[in-house]
Amino acid sequence: MSLPTTVEGVIARMHEIDAALSADDGVAVFNRMYLTVTESIAAILAKPAGNAAFQNPTVMADLDVTFANLWLAAYEAGAAGQTVATEWRPLFELRDQGRLPVQYAIAGMNTHIEHDLPVAVVATCAAHNVEPSALHHDYDAVNGVLAQVEAPIRQSFLDGLEREVDNRVGPVVHLISTWDIDKAREIAWVTAETLWELRRVEFLRDRFLDGLADTVGMATRALLVPIP
């Protein structure tokens, strides 16, 4: 299946995935959260130029699609029975292992932000022939959108656990509560700047990307720790 080329196409594909999967599938949990975020970004991109939050909405729309397609590529590989990329493998391997929904949501965000986001930033900069610094204002502007969307979703997951938080579930809730989306995006930006400089030294870039995939995959697997 070909990947979408527009934000609207991304949203449509995410809706298809949501409809195809059971609600308790770990992949579905992350996809549903990501769909909510993408719809919020799309609403901002649709605003008239004078009211836009982004200085360059065209570039940001391209970044949004490039970013989302890294997730969709992982999903399509898994759906086709192919090998899923290292960084995404824990989510797909443990999708039906009964983890808490919030674990699946945050584990997916960890992979997508800390691995896929810097890769997407570099690819978008290269496509538009601009330095990462040209995207920094708009990159930071997304933080406000994410704060409005991610926090209520996370809290809704945690509220559902209020009656279950005891010695069995409590340590897991503590683990996932330590994950911070703003910090993750700060790290992702530094990673993007590093990758941008490494594009001139291909063998180092490839080694760096291999290490990044392994490291992010390990952190994602840790976020999916089984409930005792």
Dist CA 108 CA 74 (whole Å): 11
> Which pLDDT does position 169 carry in this prediction?
61
C-alpha pair distances (Å), 167 with each of 170, 173, 221, 224: 5, 10, 21, 17
Contact 96, 55 (CB under 8 A): no
> Which pLDDT does position 162 carry in this prediction?
52
Q: Digits of tens for pLDDT over the chain (228 positions)?
A: 799 999 999 999 999 999 999 999 999 999 999 999 999 999 989 887 656 678 899 999 999 999 999 999 999 999 999 999 999 999 999 999 989 888 999 999 999 999 999 999 999 999 999 999 999 999 998 887 777 777 777 667 666 555 455 545 666 666 777 788 889 999 999 999 999 999 999 999 999 999 999 999 999 999 999 876
Residue 2 covered by a domain: no
Residue 38 covered by a domain: yes
- Whole-model pTM over 0.75: yes
Phi-psi region of 120 (alpha: psi -120 to 50; beta: other; left: phi over 0): alpha
Give burial (CB, 10 Å; 0-12/13-18/19+) of 145.
middle
C-alpha pair distances (Å), 11 with each of 16, 181, 197: 9, 22, 32
Residue 1 covered by a domain: no
Q: Which two tokens stand for residue 79?
A: 């759906």
Residue 228 covered by a domain: no
Which structural domain, as residue segments, surrounds residue 53? 7-223
Q: Which two tokens stand for residue 137?
A: 């204002």
Residue 199 covered by a domain: yes
Q: Which two tokens stand for residue 13?
A: 């594909």
- Sign of the alpha-carbon dihedral angle for 201, 108, 98, 96: negative
> Which pLDDT does position 49 carry in this prediction?
66
Residue 70 covered by a domain: yes
Residue 162 covered by a domain: yes
Residue 126 covered by a domain: yes
- Sign of the alpha-carbon dihedral angle for 142, 108, 156, 42: positive
> Which pLDDT does position 50 carry in this prediction?
58
In total, how many domains does the chain have? 1
